[in-house]
Amino acid sequence: MENKKKKIIILLFLLIIPAIIGAFYVRHSWNEALTDNSNQALEIANIAGSALNGEMLKELNAVPEDLGTVAYESIKNRLVSIRNMDSKIRFGYLYTEKSDKLYFIADSEPVTSGDYSPPGQEYTEADPQYFVPFIDGKPLITKPVTDRWGRWVSVLVPLKNAETGKITAVFGFDYPIEVWEREAIMKVLQAVAITVLLLLLFIFIFVVIESNQNTKKNEKNFRTIFETVDDVILVCDQKGKIRYCNESAQKKLGYSSKELREMLLSDLNPKTHHKEAELFFNEIISGKRNLQALPLEKKDGSLLMVETKVFLGKWDGQDCAYGIYKELTDEQELLQKFNQVFNNNPALMFIATFPKFILTDVNKAFIDIVEFSREEIVGKDLFKLGFIVEEENEKKLSEIIGENGSIHDKEVKLLSKSRNLLEGLCDGEIIENQGKKYILFVVTDQTSHIKAEKQLKKALVNAERLNKLMIGRELEMVDLKKEIVRLKNSGGKAVV
């Protein structure tokens, strides 16, 4: 628990540092973006102001009478051109100060526009910031202001009379607040994204380091367990090459660790079992099997009877197979031999609970001939699967087996999944395991024998019929000969 708390504190500490740095970076990005916008806007304003501050401006007095004059039209056209230079600018205008009030000299809007300000119109809601250029003579970018036309950031450049040095007008242009802040917002979003990515990167690095430490710890634990168990444990790559062996493997097989690591897994099985061992390993890799009962051959040539269980995993970060070889006791060895006989027997064999007849296991011959998979029938009622033709009454069969403990040479008919009929003789014997009763059935296929027997019987019946027919014809021929002789003796005259 303490260790977990310590890790959480370390993680929080590692996150707080980049979070603080990220906050400063976001703030810096915002200010930098606004500064860039300001510098660019002031540069445009200064250039444009120079173009407007000339003789034509001197002729205008910010009165309605300026409208239509050559000077007014010249200034207005220049304002329209300046506004069109930058699509982000909404209004361009000139204004002057009279008696502490501000009046428009000209603007960039068409006369027909609802936003048009004619010469001499008072800017009644002017923010105090618009008076500042007349006071200090310096360019100014206002804070966001609101007037009848909307919400803006204005760039203001004072225009001085070259002869007197007096500020006669201010050139201004307006950016909608959302346009002005758009680039700043984009840069802030980029900064936030970078900060979040950095935080995620820190978390990822922390998780990877923690995971690697846990992996190393788990691997160390695994190795400790492997070295202390009495079972033979071997780790191999996906080609079967042994990469690790525990102490028990070396002691029980007689090989050194170096010798084992130069061998394939199948090399430890007797040569007579090599093909079977290779098939088993391929089925392990494909995920079809993980249990086998093949002996291991020791360095001195003697056999070690084991039950093998294999599962897939990783070793030093690489895909591998873990093999656990449990040495069998005499009883286990006997059970293993029974399993081998059961699975490899050419006769159909199956085991069911008694007296309920629930199938618990079937052998390979049964699956091959009846054509049902193990999953389809194991755990099901023997008499409800439909492959037994002319089923024996379950109750009656249970009584017979219960009385005798077995059945012998009982004729049965089995129907495969593809509707092929098998006829055979069934033997059954009760077996007990851990207080539970089971019945082992063995069905000897008699289909060919019964078919041949039926054909022989049919041939015998046909032969007997033919024999009777031939004997009847011979008798008729004898009678005919006797009649011919009699006729000859009577001189060819019929006797009445």
Q: pLDDT of 161-171, one tens digit each?
A: 877 888 889 88
User: Are residues 52 and 161 both part of a single domain?
Assistant: yes
Q: Which residue has the higher pLDDT, 403 or 270?
A: 270
Domain residues for 300? 229-328
Query: Amino acid identity of 439?
Result: I
* φ/ψ of residue 401, rounded to 5: -70, -40
For the chain, give the percent of residues with pLDDT over 90: 9
User: Are residues 57 and 160 both part of a single domain?
Assistant: yes
Q: Whose CA is closest to 372, among 412, 415, 411?
A: 415
User: Are residues 144 and 176 both part of a single domain?
Assistant: yes
Supply the pLDDT for residue 42: 67
Q: Give the pLDDT band (50/70/90) at residue 95.
A: very high
Instruction: Among 163, 184, 205, identify where a domain stops.
Output: 184
User: Are residues 287 and 409 both part of a single domain?
Assistant: no
Q: Whose CA is closest to 166, among 175, 156, 177, 158?
A: 158
Supply the pLDDT for residue 333: 59
pLDDT at 329 over 50: yes
For residue 179, being part of any structural domain is answered with: yes
- Burial class of residue 45 in the structure, from the number of CB atoms within 10 Å of its CB (0-12 exposed, 13-18 middle, 19+ buried): buried
User: Are residues 173 and 39 both part of a single domain?
Assistant: yes
Rounded CA separation 407/402 (Å): 10
Q: How far apart are the first and last CA of the chain?
A: 133
Supply the pLDDT for residue 495: 45
For the chain, give the percent of residues with pLDDT over 70: 75
Rounded CA separation 304/312 (Å): 24
Asked if residue 445 lies in contact with residue 347, where contact means CB atoms within 8 angstroms, the answer is yes
Contacts of 474 (CB under 8 A, 6+ apart): none
Average pLDDT, stretch 53-64? 85
For residue 26, being part of any structural domain is answered with: no
For residue 28, being part of any structural domain is answered with: no
pLDDT at 97 over 90: yes
For residue 170, being part of any structural domain is answered with: yes
For residue 256, being part of any structural domain is answered with: yes
User: Are residues 176 and 300 both part of a single domain?
Assistant: no
Q: Whose CA is closest to 386, among 361, 413, 404?
A: 413
Q: Which residue has the higher pLDDT, 475 or 230?
A: 230
- Burial class of residue 382 in the structure, from the number of CB atoms within 10 Å of its CB (0-12 exposed, 13-18 middle, 19+ buried): buried
For residue 245, being part of any structural domain is answered with: yes
User: Are residues 69 and 176 both part of a single domain?
Assistant: yes
Average pLDDT, stretch 438-450? 81
- The count of structural domains within the chain is 3
Supply the pLDDT for residue 180: 74
Supply the pLDDT for residue 496: 43
User: Are residues 320 and 373 both part of a single domain?
Assistant: no
Mean pLDDT across the chain: 79
**Using one digit for the tens of pLDDT, what is the confidence trace for 138-148?**
888 888 898 88
